Amino acid sequence: MALGGDTTALRLCLERLVPPRKDSPVNVELPSIAGPQDAVKALSALLEAVGRGELTPTEAQAVAGLLESYRRALEVEELERRIVALEQEKNR
């Protein structure tokens, strides 16, 4: 039907190939995050952006979720490094 010129069928086909975006990019300046402790600074920057009206609370919550995932990954990496160091020390 889409090939026959039915624009509704064509739109439905295109939406399945390239679904419409459900959200948009968030532009916010965050400090560099080198360790778990830096996540607090980044969260503070998010709150300030919400207070200034640059981000909606929903957008800030989404970015905060990403920050939390990153913080946990850094924390796990640090714990793994410390465990390896303790095991090496024990085996000496």
The proportion of the chain whose per-residue pLDDT surpasses 90, expressed as a percent, equals 50
Contact indicator for 49, 55 with CB cutoff of 8 Å? yes
What pLDDT score does 34 carry?
A: 82
The model carries a pTM of 0.66
Q: Tokens 């939390």 map to which residue?
A: 68
Average pLDDT, the chain: 89
What pLDDT score does 56 carry?
A: 93
